[in-house]
Structure 1
Amino acid sequence: MKVELRTLVERSVKKMGKGVDAVVKASALEMIERAYTEGIAVQISAGYRSLEEQAALYGQGRVYSYNGKNYSDPGKPVVTDAKPGQSYHNFGLAIDFFLVSDDGRKAIWTVDSRWKHVAAIGKKLGFDWGGDWRAFKDYPHLEMTGGLTYTQLQAGKKPQLTNLFKTTKASKGDGQIMSIQKTVNSRYKTNLAVDGFFGPKTRTALLKGIQTELNRQYNHRLAVDGKWGPKTKAAMIILKIGAAGPITWILQAALYMKGFDPGPLDARFGSKTEAALSKFQKASNLSADKLAGQETWNQLLA
Structure 2
Amino acid sequence: MKIALRTLLDRSVKKMGKGMNPVVKASALEMVERAYNEGITVQISEGYRSLEEQAALYGQGRVYSYNGKNYSNLAKPIVTNAKPGQSYHNYGLAIDFFIVSDDGRRAIWTVNSKWQRVAAIGKDLGFKWGGDWSSFKDYPHLEMTSGLSYTQLQAGKKPHLAFKLERTDIPKTNKGDRLIISIQKTLNGRYKKAIEGDGFYGPKTRSALIKGLQTELNKQFNKKLVVDGKWGPKTKNAIVTIKKGASCNITWILQAALYMKGYNPGPLDGEFGKNTETALFKYQRASRISADKLAGKETWNDLLA
The aligned residue for residue 280 of structure 2 is none
Report the Cα offset of residue 151 of structure 1: 0.4
> Which one of the candidate residues 223, 231, 238 is aligned to 1:263?
238
1:34 partner letter: R
Structure 2 residues without counterparts, runs of 5 or longer? 169-175, 208-221, 240-305
Per the alignment, do residues 120 and 198 of structure 1 end up closer, same or farther by CA in structure 2, a change over 3 Å counting? closer
Per the alignment, do residues 77 and 113 of structure 1 end up closer, same or farther by CA in structure 2, a change over 3 Å counting? same
The aligned residue for residue 76 of structure 1 is 76
Per the alignment, do residues 84 and 123 of structure 1 end up closer, same or farther by CA in structure 2, a change over 3 Å counting? same
- Residue by residue over 1:184-231, the C-alpha shift from the partner in whole angstroms, topping out at 9 and shown as x without a partner, is x84xxx9554787557xx9xxxxxxxxxxxxxxxxxxxxxxxxxxxxx
The 3-state SS of whatever aligns with 2:45 is strand
Structure 1 residues without counterparts, runs of 5 or longer? 203-243, 265-302
The aligned residue for residue 294 of structure 1 is none
**1:93 aligns to 2:93 (yes or no):** yes
Task: Compute the TM-score of the two structures, normalised by the length of structure 1.
Answer: 0.61
1:104 partner letter: G
Report the Cα offset of residue 261 of structure 1: 3.5
- State, as a whole percentage, how many aligned pairs show the same letter: 64
* TM alignment of 1:4-23, pairs within 5 A: 4-23=4-23
* Contact 1:100–1:107 (8 Å) recurs in 2: yes
* TM alignment of 1:69-148, pairs within 5 A: 69-148=69-148
The aligned residue for residue 157 of structure 2 is 157
Per the alignment, do residues 45 and 258 of structure 1 end up closer, same or farther by CA in structure 2, a change over 3 Å counting? farther
* Contact 1:198–1:257 (8 Å) recurs in 2: no
Per the alignment, do residues 252 and 141 of structure 1 end up closer, same or farther by CA in structure 2, a change over 3 Å counting? same
Report the Cα offset of residue 51 of structure 1: 0.5
1:74 partner letter: L
- For residues 141 and 116 of structure 2, the distance between their equivalents in structure 1, rounded to whole angstroms, comes to 12
* Contact 2:28–2:122 (8 Å) recurs in 1: yes
- For residues 45 and 56 of structure 1, the distance between their equivalents in structure 2, rounded to whole angstroms, comes to 17
* Contact 1:60–1:75 (8 Å) recurs in 2: yes
* TM alignment of 1:151-230, pairs within 5 A: 151-166=151-166, 182=188, 186=192, 191=194, 193=196
Aligned length: 214
Per the alignment, do residues 42 and 142 of structure 1 end up closer, same or farther by CA in structure 2, a change over 3 Å counting? same
Report the Cα offset of residue 254 of structure 1: 6.2
2:101 partner letter: S
**1:49 aligns to 2:24 (yes or no):** no
Report the Cα offset of residue 263 of structure 1: 2.9
The 3-state SS of whatever aligns with 1:256 is coil
- For residues 57 and 78 of structure 1, the distance between their equivalents in structure 2, rounded to whole angstroms, comes to 8
- For residues 75 and 33 of structure 2, the distance between their equivalents in structure 1, rounded to whole angstroms, comes to 39
The 3-state SS of whatever aligns with 1:134 is coil
- For residues 194 and 78 of structure 2, the distance between their equivalents in structure 1, rounded to whole angstroms, comes to 42
1:141 partner letter: H
- Residue by residue over 1:142-178, the C-alpha shift from the partner in whole angstroms, topping out at 9 and shown as x without a partner, is 001101100010000111112222589xx99x9xxx7
* Contact 2:19–2:91 (8 Å) recurs in 1: yes
The aligned residue for residue 277 of structure 1 is none
- Residue by residue over 1:16-35, the C-alpha shift from the partner in whole angstroms, topping out at 9 and shown as x without a partner, is 12211111111111111111
- Residue by residue over 1:22-54, the C-alpha shift from the partner in whole angstroms, topping out at 9 and shown as x without a partner, is 111111111111111111011100111111111
Task: Compute the TM-score of the two structures, normalised by the length of structure 2.
Answer: 0.60
Per the alignment, do residues 258 and 130 of structure 1 end up closer, same or farther by CA in structure 2, a change over 3 Å counting? farther
Q: CA RMSD in A?
A: 3.6
- For residues 167 and 89 of structure 2, the distance between their equivalents in structure 1, rounded to whole angstroms, comes to 23
- For residues 87 and 19 of structure 2, the distance between their equivalents in structure 1, rounded to whole angstroms, comes to 14
Per the alignment, do residues 192 and 120 of structure 1 end up closer, same or farther by CA in structure 2, a change over 3 Å counting? closer
- Stretches (4+) displaced over 2 A: 190-199, 254-264
- Residue by residue over 1:210-265, the C-alpha shift from the partner in whole angstroms, topping out at 9 and shown as x without a partner, is xxxxxxxxxxxxxxxxxxxxxxxxxxxxxxxxxx99xx85x55265379973636x
1:56 partner letter: A
* TM alignment of 1:226-237, pairs within 5 A: none
- For residues 146 and 90 of structure 2, the distance between their equivalents in structure 1, rounded to whole angstroms, comes to 15
Per the alignment, do residues 259 and 74 of structure 1 end up closer, same or farther by CA in structure 2, a change over 3 Å counting? farther
Per the alignment, do residues 119 and 198 of structure 1 end up closer, same or farther by CA in structure 2, a change over 3 Å counting? closer
